[in-house]
Each structure stands twice: as C-alpha cells, then as structure tokens.
Homo-oligomer: A and B are copies of this chain.
C-alpha cells in the first residue's frame, strides 16, 4: 500500500474482536488477551516507549531507530521528499541517495513528523454542547467545540514548560461514540539520510503491489531535527534486531492505520459500492492511461510522472479490491445480518429504541441524499474537476485568506489555527511544478467535469466558456505565477484584499468557483454530514450499551497497536511461506521496469548472501497509513518494516479475514545486507547497529 488511502470521510463504529484482529488505541490495548494467547507480558513502560518511538508522517508511519533522531520509514513514504529534491540532472528517484555525513543530509521541503504525547477524552464536553440540538445545529456545535478545544490545548501547551508547544488535534472514535483531543510533538525539519534506488525499493512495481511473495527494499531513512537545527535527541527509539523474527513468533505493529469502514451501516456501504467506488475507478483508470502515455514522451516526462503514476496505480488496486469485496454477496449478507440483529436488539428495549430506533432510516435518507449529490460534491468541492497543483494552491489561498480573517471557531475546520501549519508549510515550500503535467491533469479533470456534470451545467459553462479543456488548461497553467512560492506567500500574507486584487488566472478561477463550491459543501454538510453524524452516534451509543466497549474503533489515521504473529497463509490450497530470500530477486529480474535490479545490486551480487531473508508476512491487522510502521517483538526491538499487505488485506477495509489477510514487511536482514554490502553506508549502519537502549 502506498501512502494513506482515505476512502471517504465516513464515520465508523468499533467492531467485535476476533483472534489477532484489531487496531487498538494505545490506551485500550488488550494486554490480557496477548498474555493468554502468546504468553507475553506487555507493560505500560513498553507501551509508552513504543508510542513515543512511533512517528506520524504525511499519510504514513515511521519510527525512531537511534537516539539522534534517525527515523526509519518506507521508501514510498518519502516520495514527496525524493521527488522534490530531484532534478533532471540529479534524479534521486533513479539514483537513490545516501548522506555520508550529517552535513549531506537534505531537508525535505514539506515533511512534518509528529509524535503522540498525550490524549484527553472530551466526549462529555461534546455531549454538553450538542444536547437538545437538531442535526444541523449539533453538527456545527460539535465542530466549533472541537476547534475551541484544540485551540485551548495548543495555548495551554505554550505555557507548559515541560511539554513546550504542541499540536492538538480532535479525534473521533467509535463513530462519534468517543471524542478525544490528541496532543502531538510536531517537527517540521526532517532530512533525507538514505533512500535506495526506486527500482529496488519498488521492485515489481504495480504488478507486484499487494502481492506476496515479494522482494522490495521499501525503506528510507530520515533524521528529525529540532527547531534550532540540531538532531533530535530521544531516549525513545527502537533497537533494530537484524536477525528478524521467526515463524509464529508474536509480533506487534505500532502505527497510524488510515481508514477502515468495518462497521458502517449497509446504506453507507452501498454508497461506496454503488456510487463512490465505480465513479472513482473509472476516472482514475483514465488518468492512469494518460500518465502512462505521457510518460512515454521522453526521459524527463517519464521522470516527472513516476510518483503520480505509482500513487494512482496503488489507489486503483485498493479501490478495485474494495469494490470486489463489496460486490461479494457473502460480505453484504453478513453486514445485513449483523445490522438486522443490532436493530432487533434496539427495538426490543424501549430505552434503546428511544435512542436509536429511527437511526437506520435516518441514515438511509442521508445516504440517498449523498448519492444524489456525490458527483457534484466530488467535482466542485473536492476538486475532482480541478486536479492541479496550481489550482490547489489557488484554492488554499482564496479560501484560507478568507477563513483566516474569521474567528477561529467560525472557520472551516481545515483552516483553524490548529490545522494551518501544514497548509502554510506547503504554500511556502519551494517544490517543483511541471507545466506539462499540470496541463495534463487540469485538462483531464475539466473534461471529466464536463462529462459528468454535462456541457450545459451552469458552472461548466462558467468555467469553460468557449474554451476546450486543453485550451483552458494551457491558458491557466501558462498564465499562472503560483508555481513561485514567493508569489504564493505574498498573496497569503496580503490576505483577502491581495487575493481580490490578483489577476493570476488560477486565483481568478478559484475565486469564481468558490461560491458554487461552498454552496454544495453546505448542502453536503446539512443534508449528509449532519444526519449521518447524528445517526452514527446514536447507533454507536446503542452498540456500546448492548456490546460493551471491549472493542476497537475503526481506523482514523491515529495511533494504534496490534498483535499477531509471523505466518504465511494458504492460497487456493497451496501454502505460502512467510519469508522470501534474496536469490529469487535476481531470478525474477528482467532488466526492464518494473523488474529491473539497479546496477549497484548487480555489481554487489558476488558478495551477497543469496539466502538472506528479504520480505516477510504476518497476520497483523494493518491498512494504508501503517506503511513505514515498525514490526516489534515482545522485547520492544524492531524486527521488520511494514510496507504492504497481501491482496486479501484490501478487503480489510470492511472486515478482517483471519484466514487470508496478511501484512507484508521488509526483513531487517536485507536492510543489513543492503547497507553494508551494496551501499557501503558504514556510518549509517554503525549508528543503527550501535544504538544502545
């Protein structure tokens, strides 16, 4: 899985735990079950250390592996950094990167690194402000209270000498059954230390993605620096055990699973199955084709397209298997039965019926409204019609400046004080913009806007006028100056007056689209989000009352810990072994992408031990967002680096299949072999292997 995949901002409730299933919050980890099943004692100290050694980075997870802020994650979690630091002359994607000294470490322009340092349950506070309100008012009140709580939390941290300034973020768990404020230590200076060549990191490319057996060195190493430009000193790091784990050994994964929808109502699943997924797949499959054909235009076209292409291919594979899962009658029948049982239990108890008796009907109505507006909402408010880096900047500038001038609690949630730092970082960062690729994406997406909204739609006519998608894209991309971070910064800092005065064509477009976008967003919030939230909360409360709280919430890109063991599975009657070895990599190599082994490896081959373990599989319950997560043994050592799941793991969005769902990790032995024999990264290897607790 490549980076976080959030299917939809839908709410979810926690499900019943089966063997080794579960994405547990760290304050509710089932230590007793682990003790019973594996005979392993997990202490609070162990839990705290693992939590503080785990980092959240854009759409992924990482972990500290030295006391000097060295952070291990996947190669595919550092793509933005690797791409942004690449040029036609120095293509880090193709050539890889190794800083032999700290001075050579290169700052990633838009990387943020967060460590969870505290959690506060604010459910009672939310309940207090929403009591007695109708759906729409409750929805608004909830958001305003969460903004207020985040702000209060951040202000308090500034005054707290012990913690120093923290980032605070509201977290909704158990489908609104719980609300938390999570406190993060946030670092904005992360530097690239090591990245192998992409062809070895992503060996097998899209054909092998979500497959196992597998041979990917999907790793990169960054170092986190403090504000004063020094490597972060931390006692909370994981020692790397290069021997790796044995089959059936108990293992743990700490990380940030992005999104699951295991306990959505049937109506919400039908929205995904009938509307969201087919619509998404059709559009993005076309985009894939456009990227592929564009990339054939030459070496430079190929270079600048790679990360966009691989990302969209990864998402296509995810969505495709999600759709397959939802089209599987067994799954839908199981979901329907589960729901029927819950509804029967609710209806049998007058106090529960008072809470949730009508919730499913309300949900059905809200979801029907959503399906009706999904195309327009996706296209206009979610930028489906304007797939473009420059437009995204323009929209952030137009909206963000307007929102910033409102009181914090009145703003759209993505522009509150707590949410702004990454927005501003991206606006101000010097990152490459490729006009050819921008035109491709913009033309593609406005053409699809015209297709799906229709050529006679009011907004379509306003945007396109007498232009074709191509001619409009050329005018806007060629005419806009927003590729320049200084131009963006001036507009941002100039506020709404500067934005109103701008004649940059992307700003002009974003200004002219904004009223329609806000209108469809408002309709979405009132007719879909508010009643969905309300119905979900009522169902969650009923479920808590009936089934207790010894369950885990759906994934929300917040810290979770799970337990399991190293194991393969049985595929159509044939056993799949849990370890692969280096030798097979060379056997599968063809010399052609994506089965191309870099020259460094071919040169080093005589020195390599071909029996070195390469990738491994476990039954860990993970999903997108867990990429880069440490695989940890009972002692708390790192024994693997999660980077994928098998093909069956994708259905994990909706249910956990204990027979088939497997996670996939890089084995530490291949990391050792690579660092010492292929890349001769002596200093880096010494720092990792010498790291003492």
Contacts and interface: CB of A to CB of B under 8 A. Distances in A.
Interface of A: 204, 206-208, 211, 270, 273-274, 278, 281-283, 285-294, 296, 316, 320, 323-324, 327-329, 440, 444, 450-451, 454-456, 464-468, 470-471, 588, 590-593, 595
A520 to B, nearest CB: 17
Contacts of A288: 286, 289
A525 B48 CA distance: 61
Contact of A467 (B466, B468, B590): B590
Contact of A592 (B327, B456, B466): B466
Nearest to A284: B285
A207 B289 contact: no
Given A207-B450, A288-B286, A289-B288, A320 B278 contact: yes
18 contacts: A204-B455, A208-B455, A211-B454, A274-B324, A278-B324, A281-B281, A281-B282, A282-B282, A285-B286, A286-B288, A287-B289, A289-B292, A290-B290, A293-B294, A467-B590, A467-B592, A468-B592, A471-B592
Contacts of A293: 289-290, 293-294, 440
A209 to B, nearest CB: 10
A1 to B, nearest CB: 17
A450 B594 CA distance: 11
Nearest to A316: B282
A451 B647 CA distance: 13
Given A285-B289, A440-B293, A274 B590 contact: no
A327 B278 contact: yes
Given A206-B451, A207-B450, A454-B207, A327 B282 contact: no
Contacts of A287: 289
Contacts of A286: 285-286, 288-289, 292
Given A274-B328, A290-B293, 13 more contacts: A207-B451, A207-B455, A208-B455, A274-B327, A278-B320, A281-B285, A282-B282, A282-B316, A282-B320, A290-B290, A293-B293, A455-B588, A467-B590
A283 B289 CA distance: 9
Nearest to A464: B590
A289 B289 CA distance: 4
Contacts of A468: 590, 592-593
A588 B590 CA distance: 53
Contacts of A440: 293
A310 to B, nearest CB: 14
| Residue among A291, A316, A455 with max Cβ neighbours from chain B (10 Å) | A455
Nearest to A207: B455
Contacts of A451: 206-207
Nearest to A467: B592
Contact of A285 (B211, B270, B285, B292): B285
A595 B468 CA distance: 9
Contact of A327 (B273, B292, B465): B273
A454 to B, nearest CB: 7
Contacts of A204: 455
A634 to B, nearest CB: 35
Contacts of A470: 296
A313 to B, nearest CB: 9
A450 B207 CA distance: 7
**What 4 pairs between A and B have smallest CB-CB spacing?**
A289-B289, A293-B293, A285-B285, A468-B592
A651 B328 CA distance: 22
A464 B590 CA distance: 10
| Residue among A286, A451, A468 with max Cβ neighbours from chain B (10 Å) | A286
A466 B283 CA distance: 32
Contacts of A328: 274
A16 B466 CA distance: 48
A471 B590 CA distance: 12
A332 to B, nearest CB: 11
Contacts of A327: 273-274, 278
A614 to B, nearest CB: 16
Nearest to A460: B207
Contacts of A590: 464-468
Contacts of A282: 281-282, 285, 316, 320
Contacts of A444: 289, 292
A290 B297 CA distance: 12
Nearest to A328: B274
Nearest to A275: B327
A591 to B, nearest CB: 6
Contacts of A595: 455
Contacts of A285: 281-283, 285-286, 289
A455 B595 CA distance: 10
A364 to B, nearest CB: 11
Nearest to A295: B293
Contacts of A292: 286, 289-290, 444
Contacts of A454: 207, 211
A285 B451 CA distance: 13
Contacts of A281: 278, 281-282, 285
Nearest to A213: B456
A231 to B, nearest CB: 41
Contacts of A291: 289
Contacts of A592: 466-468, 471
A267 to B, nearest CB: 10
Nearest to A453: B207
Nearest to A286: B289
A466 B289 contact: no
A440 B294 CA distance: 12
Nearest to A278: B323
A322 to B, nearest CB: 11
A317 B271 CA distance: 20
A273 B326 CA distance: 12
A391 B281 CA distance: 29
Contacts of A466: 590-592
Nearest to A647: B454
A467 B444 CA distance: 31
